[in-house]
Chain A
Amino acid sequence: MSRTRPLAVVLLLAALASSRLPAQATYPWALPPGFPPPAIPADNPMTEAKVELGRHLFYDTRLSGNGTQSCGSCHEQARTFTDGRPRSVGSTGQAHPRGSMSLVNVAYARVLTWANPSLTRLEDQALVPMYGGHPIELGLDRSDRWLEAIAQDATYQRLFRAAFDDEQPVTRDNVVKAIATFERAIVSARSPYDRYHFERDETAISEAAKRGEVLFHSRPLSCFTCHGGIHFSSAMGTARPAMTVEFHNTGLYNLPGLLSYPSDNTGVFEFTRDPADVGKFKAPTLRNIAVTAPYMHDGSVVTLEEAIEHYAAGGRTIATGEYAGVGRDNPNKSATIRGFTLTPDQRADLIAFLQSLTDDGLLRDPRFGNPWPCQSHR
């Protein structure tokens, strides 16, 4: 007895301590064998309670200045957290110059958004749509009066208490931490391609998709150069630092003058002012790409077939109008965009491979769905 009593006391204390520290719990990623979990910031660990709080905040229209939009308005689960528009539209009707990016596997993203090399933390990125004015997205008031309504909601009182140990947990800092935690939880790793690749289920994808995979990884297409790795984006993955991310000018435009791209969408140039960066954007993940149309940073490519045609031509030619020009000749065009010729069967194979990356289960998973069924988000 004398030996077991101190042990029992230690175990009791440990149990009490763990109940007060939900943030210390291990998050159940439930990834396929061989699929690495993402790196998580030490100051914002993953917990199920924080994911659940983040999910409620993500879909709550009270997080917009006029109560009409939430994060989920431009990041719809069924569209792999994009919105189906060429360019997103904010809560006050202002058009964003770029399209909504998919959030799947964003926890693995080494840089965020289409073209900002310095934005690397989801906690920082969340503040842009919340408070940004150019353009207005959610349009929240910087006085944070919206937090008062959140603090008085009984559901949130319970969720914040479960997620954070702070005496006054309803703060802007904790809101963005919870939203970022929810976004990190959205991991696509159960597509037919994943079953084929990680579980070696030879029947999971078609023979056409397997041929398409070979094309994807072979010359002269070499799609893997920019869309490599298990996330199909060279800008994702935990193995390399953010500073090594490459941005690419794919020859979508070639306008006369100093800026060869439309002035509201100059890519990395917007941040560096280096003329060599005009038209350079991040290669997004191709996971679930079949449900994220339209494509490219400005949604100017409508279908997957059209996207393949763009790369096959080595750049896009626009014959007439405001953006007329031969994108193939853009001086900043990436050397990897060289053009190629595919037979109709090979094009079909490539499309079949890209379609095999659709994780239907994720697009319907209630853990990532809207918990506020009565709210409209559009």
Chain B
Amino acid sequence: MLTLLGCIFAVNAHGEPGNTKPTLRQQIEDIRQRHGVKFIYDSSTRLDAAYNGRPLDRLSLKESLAELFNNTGLRWEQNGEYVVIIPAKKYTLSGYVTEADGETIINATVQDLTGKSGTLTNEHGFFSLTMPEGRHTLSFSSIGNSEHIEEVNLTGNRTLNIVLTPSNKLDEVIVTADLNSPLHTTQTGKISLTAKDLNREYALLSSPDVVKTLQTLSGVAAGTEVTSGLYVHGGGNDENLFMLDGTPLYQVNHLGGLFSSFNTDVIKNIDFYKSGFPARYGGRLSSVVDVRTKDGNMKEYHGTFSIGLIDGRFQIEGPIVKDRTSFNFGIRRTWLDIITIPAFAIHNKNSDDENIDMRYAFHDINAKITHVFSDRSRADISFFSGDDTFKAKDTYRPIGDETYDPDEYTKIDLRWGNMTAALNWKYQFSPKLYSVFTAIYTYNRSRQGYIDTYKTYDGKDNSVIGITHTENHSRSTINDFGARLEIDYRLNRTHHIRTGANYLMHFFKPQSFIQNNFAGDGMDMDTTARSIYHTMRGHELSVYAEDNIALGEKWRVNVGAHCTLFNIPNKTYATLEPRLAVRYQASDRVTLKASYTKMSQYMHQLSNSYLNLPTDYWVPSTAKIAPSRSNQYAAGVYLMLPRNIRLSAEGFYKTMHNLIEYDGGNSLTPPFENWDSHIRRGRGRAYGLELEAAYGNERLSLSGSYTLSWNRRNFPGFHSGWYPDKFDNRHKLNLNISYKISGGIDAYAAWTFHSGNRMTVPQQVVTAPEIPIPGDIKTSIHNSGFTTWLYEKPNNLSLAPYHRLDLGINFRKTTRKGNERIWNISVYNAYCRMNPFSAKIEMLPDGSFRGKSTAVFPIIPSFSYTYKF
């Protein structure tokens, strides 16, 4: 902290050389004395701004006046010896910032270099900047693209679309001027990632992954090793709002969490918030992951093909009508079943009595069509499907005899995933008013089926003499239909207003279950059947408004509110969530920020494990189960040191109420029957400090983050008093380096360290209790002498620290046709640190005790090949 404070003073000194420039008022006085004119102006006219132009002493009166009031928002008129100063007319410049291929750029910086005002493109690549009439020098930039300078003579409202060209050079000017950097944004806890960021990170099994990239950020715990857990600022894994092109997703994992459901080939940008949530987001307590996909190349056909150790990806994009309509299509699929199918075929061929078929596969399909009607109107339709399938079939027929000839058939079928569709129409009503109308549909499902039939035949005539059939099917689904309106209104340089409304109609079928068992001799059958079917409907209406207000040059405030009405049978909840973020820019290189947010969550994932099981299902708040709430305070300081070195320190304090956890024993699938009676309710508290540092130039990129945090829970029915959360990792440190060795080779390394996850282990041994029995039961059944473990406090053991090193190297080669080939070699856990996964206490023969921990994941090498065309 002392180092950081030192940096603040040093950087402040560096950034503020001393303000000795004259003000407009002083210059007016000079002109008045020099040219003998009199000035007339309204007393409210602001003339204390610094004059930044050339010296006026050698200029004529008219030249002096023109120079003095250029880009000041003021204009002048001379009438004899009188000079009247009046406010200049203001006009709005608006448009889109795109890549050369027509792809809109999110979070591009648009700056009026002369007027010192600026803005960012929104999530649709649109900008709007209101400036005084006259000549302006505008800068358009974004990380990864060259800065574009445009001279504009503003004599009325104007539309201007800008194309930026890629650049590998990481220019300090661009980085410093990036209005999306933490140095300039109003919100705390916002991190933006582009497709390049995702593909530059280390990738488990050489498959870039959104959630695993987010896991490396400060303030985020990864959960159980290799799974795609996301525990942000002490929150739960179901407290993250994942949005794909504005559509909420429920299921974001494949293969038990080994991969997340986002194909990085189609992703354009991710805005991740862990505090300071803008009012336009709501519905989850702990984080927002706003994923935007590419519209598709408007000019040429391009694509990517990649194959890794267990999955393959294919993506293609291009124009349907050049510069008007584009498409983007991506698919990712495992090919593990291509191995398992022949493997089992060989097994079956060599087995006389048994046939086994087993396969697992997942896929993601993203498709998007974008059409530009005009400069003011464009629309897109997007579709996503992510599915996991596990199927197994076993036919077993051992050799019987004359009296007994058995035959068993078993089948299991698991399927889970999401499907979403969204239709967006974006319309610019005026240069200042941009709107998006959206219709969305989300389908989430988890399905499981099991059949086991055991038959016995008479060995002589092959007639059935016995049959036992067990069959059950369960299914959990959510269908959401919704509509959304977003208004982006840039009133003037001071106010950027966003408002809108969102309506979702939820159709829940949390648990349908059918069981059909029968047994008998083939003629006389006994049947037991059971079926459970639940359905309910919910309505969720939210409205929001936020205003990003510039209060002078240094202060900026984002104030807003998110209001929600949530209706389910017999209950309607209404919440008002205030949001506030304040930024103080001490200098060009030092910024201080603070925020307060209140969040509510009406949807909860019932889970009895840390495993991201497909059978975990979502349930709404009910009349018995109130929505979860959180309050979070965050504050930070952000520095830009010379040589592109970025430093930040952010602290947070978060309280959570009405948290719910499943409390149904050891069930893998929580039963929906009376589910809200099997819920424990409690509170949470998390706080911590996050430090981040980053440096980058065109070849070398270094970053590091450290988190010191506490994460506590209080569930009265579970434990009396506060106890540490499972992922209460006191210290977390991430160090990353990537280096471009040559034009064709780049390498990267990432070292992760965190305090171990927590386990619950017994602390004492006690005698086993006796249950009283009636006096006339003369029994010798007594537990005397038997002992049992005593669990006194949940998560009372911190496992040994977790650390690992991941390495990777890319070999790139560009073909004569300009296509690119990339060979990737990655090593997970390069020094094979066996990180403890679980622990228990065991008794030794001498009567003493010791702790025993188990580790599972060793070094895992992987390889992938990518072809970009």
Q: Check if A and B associate.
A: no
